[in-house]
Amino acid sequence: MITSKLPNVGITIFTQMSQLAAQTGALNLSQGFPDFDGPQALRDAVGRHIASGHNQYSPMTGLPALREQVAAKIARSYGANVDADTEVTITPGATQAIFCAIQAVIHRGDEVIVFDPAYDSYEPSVALAGGRCVHVQLGVKDFAIDFEQLKQALSPRTRMIILNSPHNPSGALISRAELDQLAELIRDRDDLYIVSDEVYEHLVYDGVAHASVLAHEELYQRAFVVSSFGKTYHVTGWKTGYVVAPPALTAELRKVHQYVSFCGVTPLQYALADYMAEHPEHVEELPGFYQAKRDLFCDLLAPSRFSFSKVTGTYFQLVDYSQIRPDLNDVDMALWMTREHGVAAIPVSVFYQDPPKEQRLVRLCFAKREETLRQAAEKLCVI
């Protein structure tokens, strides 16, 4: 008889909805991946490096050239200087980076604060480390941190706070003022760490700047900052990410990382290093690229019976279906939309420990070709 270490975990909602979309032929606006390829030059570089023989293990910490490009990008984007050798680690995906950061510092009985709605990988990672998640609900309307609730949730057992900005699933952003408020709240707790999940760091719109923990000197000293090449370069299937942390925290993270995967895929790292060096403008153009998709999709949805406000970050748009099927919870609504109307979405309640009963939201991914967005909007406007 197997005693499960994760008794409450099954197949993720993302896998379920993508499978249902495939089975029904629905347009898949559920799982967060583009239906278009990454840059041609980036894809060409992979073949070039495979042909050149770059097919063996890379260094455990990541290819030096790629770590140097990450450090250079951070300096350009945030004015922060990090050491490529001692502070940057390349990982097989951001989820693995988050897992290793949690395993590095969380011990049995420790508490980790997560903000609901929270990405689904956080809690299992904490549980496998022997810790316990304490859920603090973000604002129902604006998905902002309630600092009074956060203060009440802190205890002597709190060892970590997990931030996520731009936020999945809501698209909300944490401001610099909020980071300052957090720093003041935990200033006297030198035993408390932060994981800052910033995988959508370059998908921020309307001229707003992303407030990264990398640019917050005080918070960075206790933080693991995680990002994703997959999100930034439209290659989510490459499962390549990175984590940036001060040297002492990086050393602990690498102790775990070397026994989880040891290293990432070598030719992909070479290709990314080449592309980043040759096309530093890519990250500067990314907000405009995705903002155009957001605006198109929202304009196409304007005649529908869904209500929404344009997101400020990520490539997900939340829509409220209260005027359409208020009788359905969001899981049933997502299933109904997929089966009956040919558009797959993600129910937002799955991101909560205790979902707000009045909430009627589903999440749609707009990282799609214009043709896909037009087809999806046409279907959604007749619901």
* 236-289 tens-digit pLDDT: 999 999 999 999 999 999 999 999 999 999 999 999 999 999 999 999 999 999
Q: Which DSSP letter does residue 279 get?
A: -
CB-based contact 165:198 (threshold 8 Å): yes
State the average pLDDT over residues 93-101: 98
Contacts of 359 (CB under 8 A, 6+ apart): 140, 330, 348, 349
State the average pLDDT over residues 68-88: 98
Q: What share of the chain in percent tops pLDDT 90? A: 97
pLDDT of residue 284: 97
Distance between CA atoms of 201 and 231, rounded to whole angstroms? 9
pLDDT of residue 1: 86
Strand 361-365 to 316-320 pairing = antiparallel
State the average pLDDT over residues 343-371: 96
State the average pLDDT over residues 52-75: 98
Which tokens belong to 58?
């890379």
pLDDT tens-place string over residues 274-322:
999 999 999 999 999 999 999 999 999 999 999 999 999 999 999 999 9
Distance between CA atoms of 153 and 160, rounded to whole angstroms? 12
Question: Is the bond into 166 cis (omega within 30 degrees of 0)?
Answer: yes
Contacts of 13 (CB under 8 A, 6+ apart): 120, 346, 347, 350
State the average pLDDT over residues 67-76: 98
User: Which residue segments constitute the domains of the chain, with CATH numbers given?
Assistant: 13-31+282-380 (3.90.1150.10), 42-279 (3.40.640.10)
CB-based contact 138:145 (threshold 8 Å): yes
| Residue 278 parent element (H or E) | helix 266-278
At 171, give phi and psi (nearest 5°): 80, 5
Q: How confident is the model at residue 74 (pLDDT cuts 50, 70, 90)?
A: very high
Q: How confident is the model at residue 11 (pLDDT cuts 50, 70, 90)?
A: confident
pLDDT of residue 101: 98
At 295, give phi and psi (nearest 5°): -65, -40
Q: Which DSSP letter does residue 193 get?
A: E
pLDDT of residue 8: 87
State the average pLDDT over residues 108-114: 98
Distance between CA atoms of 8 and 292, rounded to whole angstroms? 39
